[in-house]
Chain A
């Protein structure tokens, strides 16, 4: 038995079995939730590459699994990331069980998680680009199962991901050529251009991000949030693998400047444009772009401690977008639209969703004492030294986003009706939202917990620590 079999092949094969259960919604969701939670527990408990004696029998879980001359490697340092990927899938499955109409999600969620883990584990790591493209294709099935308003967002999504994949594969081929001769300036600038285009398409960098708000508006917002979040986390880890492997790339001033500029433009445009939206789904989409911009800026600061900021943002982001998406999915389910004209006063009916939405939005906006704040502060501190202009850009973008958050609040409470019950009456969703809100507050009050986790995620990246 090897680690890739446990955390990639078994969940992937099981997920294909779960497709057969799509007409038995409850069974499918429960089986999928149990599968994902077991994967999390196994990632925490099982030691990789160590001999363990149980009941007089020695056994060892190997870290490597060969495939066509390439290898899938999950080492003990990467078990934290594996646990995180499956925990996110479990969180979204519990939420979607109540709020989503999708019957394919229980099958697709573990398959996406398995492919993300495979993309982190595959060596040479360039093959990750194809695995991430397969994630995008799986997501297509998820979106086209439900009747949406229009296909344009999803079509643009798959188009950009495919073009991005090909650029990254080309970049890998170019990198293998100049690996030994980093003094060739022409080849280096060519690699940087292709790499920039590849990540630009793949990571939805400016100006290739138009599909994010379109998809968040047109599709099931909660599921769209899952796909965008996990894919972008996978792509950021792929970006870190690039920087880890090539010292000249890591120290390239052009790349760092490009990332800082691109990230700042994303934060500013994402933040300001979110303030002018009339659809809460689109605000969610622009917030994802802004959040992605923060990650790209951290990637640009990789030589001055940006890696810890980058990994430190992962947990607060997942929590915030998880409960925000859950609250939106509830409104979407009841009112069939997230346009502000249809949502006046709906926040007063189940206060818990309003609370979840606000805590999530202001955590993303960087309100003090919430989980998003410590990273924003650290990022601003780092930027004041190396790129003050980018620091101002963050403030402007965050300001725009705060206006959007206040607009959401005023829409959701503006009515003559009295305040309704606090809980929604659905135990699963109530527990999930309260769990998320409490964790966001705890991580805001005690940021050291998040920092410890972030440094654990960084363990496989020796040069980036």
Chain B
């Protein structure tokens, strides 16, 4: 989780932001599994990650349109 937050401080592109959030959430998932092992919570965090990956697609598409590439 800490490494995710640290990466966020140095981001320059949308890719880096979403990847940092993914790393951050993966850290949380591991801690959560150790703490409580709630299946629904893990599923929902998984859903958040999949949705963020989809968002990454939108972000990169818009960014590349903006840059004209």
Q: Which residues of A contact B (CB under 8 A)?
A: 67-70, 127, 130, 133-134, 137-138, 140-141, 144-145, 147-148, 151, 155, 158-159, 162-163, 165-166, 169, 173
- Give B24-44 interface residues, CB cut-off 8 Å to A: 24-25, 28, 32, 35-36, 39-41, 43-44
Q: Are A144 and B48 in contact (CB under 8 A)?
A: no
Please, how many angstroms separate the alpha-carbon atoms of A452 and B15 in the complex?
48
Give Cα A197 to B8, complex, Å. Answer: 17
Known: A151-B63, A155-B17, A159-B21. 16 other contacts (CB 8 A): A127-B40, A130-B48, A134-B47, A134-B48, A141-B55, A141-B58, A144-B59, A144-B62, A151-B14, A151-B59, A158-B21, A162-B24, A162-B48, A165-B48, A169-B28, A173-B35
Which residues of chain A come closer than 8 Å to B45, judged between CB atoms? Answer: 130
B36 surroundings in chain A (CB, below 8 A): 173
Q: How far is the CB of B2 from chain A (nearest CB, A)?
A: 12
What is the bound-complex CA distance between A163 and B6, given in angstroms? 12
B50 to chain A, nearest CB (A): 10
The answer to whether B24 and A130 have CB atoms under 8 Å apart is no
Chain B residues with CB under 8 Å of A166's CB are 1, 24-25, 28
A151 to B61, CA, bound (A): 12
In the bound assembly, the distance between CA atoms of A133 and B21 in angstroms comes to 12
- Whether A169 contacts B40 in the complex (CB less than 8 A), given A151-B59, A159-B17, comes out as no
> What is the size, in residues, of chain B's interface with A at 8 Å between Cβ atoms?
34
Q: Are A127 and B51 in contact (CB under 8 A)?
A: no
Closest 4 CB pairs of A and B: A144-B58, A68-B40, A140-B55, A137-B51
**Set B21, B32, B35, B58: member contacting A162, Cβ < 8 A:** B21
Contacts of B54 in A (CB 8 A): 137, 141
Chain B residues with CB below 8 A from A137, complex form: 48, 51-52, 54-55
**How distant is the Cα of A124 from the Cα of B28 in the complex, in angstroms?**
19
Chain A residue contacts of B66, Cβ below 8 A: 147
* Contact residues in A for B52 (Cβ distance below 8 Å): 137, 158, 162
Bound-state CA distance A141–B51 (Å) is 10
Q: Which residues of B contact A (CB under 8 A)?
A: 1, 5, 8, 11, 14, 17-18, 20-21, 24-25, 28, 32, 35-36, 39-41, 43-45, 47-48, 51-52, 54-55, 58-59, 61-63, 65-66
Chain B residues with Cβ below 8 Å from A147 are: 62, 65-66
Q: What does DSSP make chain B's interface, helix, strand, loop or mixed?
A: helix
Q: How far is the CA of A78 from the CA of B40 in the complex (A)?
A: 24
The residue in chain A whose Cβ has the minimal distance to the Cβ of B27 is A166
> In the complex, what residues of B have CB within 8 A of residue A155's CB?
11, 14, 17, 59
Q: Is the CB of A158 within 8 A of B55?
A: yes
Report the Cα distance A253→B35, complex, angstroms: 30
Beta-carbon nearest neighbor of B8 in chain A: A159
- In the bound complex, CA of A158 to CA of B21 (Å): 9
Which of B11, B44, B61 has the most CB atoms of chain A within a 10 A radius of its CB? B44
* A133 and B61 alpha carbons, distance in the complex (Å): 22
Residues of A with C-beta under 8 A to B63? 151
Complex contacts, A169 vs chain B, CB 8 Å: 28, 32, 41
* Given A137-B52, A166-B24, A130 and B61 contact (CB-CB distance below 8 Å): no
The answer for the CA separation of A140 and B20 in the assembled complex, in Å, is: 17
Give the nearest-CB partner of B55 in chain A: A140
Would you mind naming 7 contact pairs between A and B with Cβ atoms under 8 Å apart?
A68-B39, A130-B45, A138-B51, A155-B59, A158-B18, A158-B55, A162-B25
Q: List, in ascending order, chain B residues with CB within 8 A of A173's CB.
A: 35-36
**Nearest CB in chain A: distance from B62 CB, A:** 5
- Is A163 touching B14 in the complex (CB atoms < 8 A)? no
- Bound Cα distance from A151 to B58, whole angstroms: 11
Question: Would B48 and A140 count as touching, CB distance under 8 A?
Answer: no
Give CA–CA (A68, B38) in the complex, Å.
Answer: 10
Contacts of A148 on B, CB cut-off 8 Å? 62
Residue of A at shortest CB range from B44? A130
Residues in chain A near residue B59, CB distance under 8 A: 140, 144, 151, 155
Closest to A141 in B: B58
In the complex, the answer to whether B24 meets A67 with C-beta atoms within 8 Å is no
**Cβ of A159: which chain B residues have Cβ within 8 Å of it?**
8, 17, 20-21
